[in-house]
Amino acid sequence: MRGVTASGTGRIDTRSVPRAFDEHAASYDRLVDANPGYHDHLRLSVQRMGLPDQGRGLRLLDVGCGTGASTAALLAAAPETEIVAVDASAEMLAAAQRKPWPKNVRFVHGNAQNLAAVGVNGPFDGILAAYLVRNLPSPDAALRSFLTMLRPGAPLAVHDYSVRDSTRSKAVWTAVCWTIIIPMGRLRTGSSGLYRYLWRSVLRFDGVTALAQRLRDAGFVDVRCQTFSGWQQNIVHTVLGRRRPEPEAAPAPAPPDFSEVETPPTGLPR
């Protein structure tokens, strides 16, 4: 990666991730489009949130929206909802904004760990955090903040890589990174720094058991995990949780049930 990161070492870390994505924004969509299942898996994570009635009357937050792939996944499942999409990389956000969007989608440049500073406030009826929590300097603080921005009973979906619990998953991830992702990133952009960071960050990130516990510790309930089919089985996961419903609440529409889509919950008790 060109330049010196926030750590002063020349190696990308969580504090310099937005700047690294700025440098790779122009080629980012071409790289993810070459990843089998990337967009389908995002749509599947959104389906697992169980958003009702095409999102009619709902308000959703896409935090860490990047170039808009996760925003498109939300829109496909909930075309009638209001979507607020936030990213810390100005160039990734600009790439998203150049795409055609309906009037119910709004993009905001801001830090996921200080959303109020850019005027993003709850309550939301659902939050999608795709490939985000792993890249945050203070993930626990961010998760606690997300919890306060949800309506009672509303879901959070964390969509991310997690391989730490499986020797096989770590081996597959390393092989795919060094034979496909890193060489392709270098070929398309002239630099492999961001993709080497991706490889390292996934190996160091929580296993799904620890990530699920991280959500519980932040106050989420009904936490569970689902994976995907294909080479990314037990490598990419949806970890779902919801804000605890209010007891004895006045009659209101029931919170969405988490959908059992494609794969059942794996290995984590509710």
pLDDT at 13: 53
The whole-number average pLDDT for the span 206-226 is 97
pLDDT at 36 over 90: no
Q: Identify the pLDDT of residue 31.
A: 82
Residue 19 has pLDDT above 80, yes or no: no
Say if residue 127's pLDDT is above 70. yes
What value, to the nearest 5°, has the Cα angle with vertex 265 and ends 176 and 60? 85
What strands, in cross-sheet order, belong to the sheet with 236-242? 105-109, 82-87, 59-63, 126-130, 155-161, 236-242, 221-227
Matching residue, tokens 């330049």: 3
Please give the mean pLDDT across all residues of the chain: 87
d(CA 130, CA 41): 10
Confidence category of residue 20, pLDDT binned at 50, 70, 90: confident
pLDDT-derived band of residue 149, with 50, 70 and 90 as boundaries? Answer: very high
Residue 14 has pLDDT above 60, yes or no: no
| Structure confidence at residue 12 as a pLDDT band (50, 70, 90) | low
Q: Where are the domains of the chain?
A: 35-164+206-242
Q: Is 99's pLDDT higher than 70?
A: yes
pLDDT value of position 28? 82
Instruction: Give, for 31, the enclosing helix (H) or strand (E).
Output: helix 17-33
What pLDDT does residue 185 have? 79
* pLDDT of 29 higher than 90: no
pLDDT band per the 50, 70, 90 thresholds, residue 250: low
Tokens of 255: 């919170």
CATH class for the domain made up of 35-164+206-242 = alpha beta
| Highest mean pLDDT, choosing among 37-41, 214-218, 256-260 | 214-218
- Residue 92's alpha-carbon distances to 15, 69, 71, 79, 247, in angstroms, are 16, 11, 13, 23, 41
Q: Report the pLDDT averaged over residues 29-52.
A: 91
Using a pLDDT cut of 90, give the percent of the chain over it: 68
Looking at per-residue pLDDT, the higher value among 172 and 14 belongs to 172
User: Is residue 220 very low, low, confident or very high in pLDDT (cuts 50, 70, 90)?
Assistant: very high
% of the chain with per-residue pLDDT over 70? 85
Cα separation, 12 vs 98, whole angstroms: 27
pLDDT at 2 (0 to 100): 32
Burial of 202 (0-12, 13-18, 19+ CB in 10 A): buried
The one-letter code for the residue type at 24 is: H
**Residue range 127-141: mean pLDDT, rounded:** 95
pLDDT at 249 over 60: no
Mean pLDDT on 209-235: 96
pTM: 0.87
